[in-house]
């Protein structure tokens, strides 16, 4: 009887372009860019660089930030921690028995 492999539960974190992020947040694309450049939205948490011309926004975390940044910052920190722990790079590598 084989052991069940460890299940990895990934939450859904959608990466969207600036137009979609602006529409969903009510912020202008220029404001999103300003927040990026000023460090208000941190790289590799709220946005990622795909290549030199493409940036994608983590809409789930941006919306959570907007909701909780003033009223419940600890909840937002937990949301960031959940996101980071859900990344494949944060998963434990499974060990196989070698004979």
DSSP-derived secondary structure for 23-83: HHHS--HHHHHHHHHTTSS-BTTTEEEEETTEEEEEHHHHHHHHHHTTT-HHHHHHHHHHH
pTM of the model: 0.77
**Cα separation values, 25 from 29, 84, 91, Å:** 10, 22, 30
Cβ contact 21:62 at 8 Å: yes
Q: In what order do the strands lie in the sheet with 54-58?
A: 15-16, 54-58, 47-51
Helix or strand run (H / E) with residue 12: none
Q: Per residue in 7-36, pLDDT tens?
A: 444 457 789 999 999 999 999 999 999 999
Give the domain 15-90 fold.
Answer: Multidrug-efflux Transporter Regulator; Chain: A; Domain 2 (1.10.1660)
Which pLDDT value is given to residue 6?
47
Q: Per residue in 22-77, pLDDT tens?
A: 999 999 999 999 999 999 999 999 999 999 999 999 999 999 999 999 999 999 99
Residue reference for tokens 């939205």: 41
- Map out the domains of the chain as residue ranges: 15-90
């Amino acid at each position: 009887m084989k052991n069940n492999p460890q299940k990895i539960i990934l939450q859904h974190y959608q990466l969207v372009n600036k137009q979609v992020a602006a529409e969903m947040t009510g912020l202008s694309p220029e404001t999103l860019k300003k927040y990026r450049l000023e460090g208000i939205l941190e790289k590799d948490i709220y946005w990622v660089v795909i290549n030199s011309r493409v940036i994608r926004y983590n809409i789930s975390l941006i919306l959570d930030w907007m909701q909780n940044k003033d009223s419940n910052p600890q909840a937002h920190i937990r949301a960031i921690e959940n996101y980071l722990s859900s990344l494949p790079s944060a998963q434990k590598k499974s060990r196989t028995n070698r004979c």
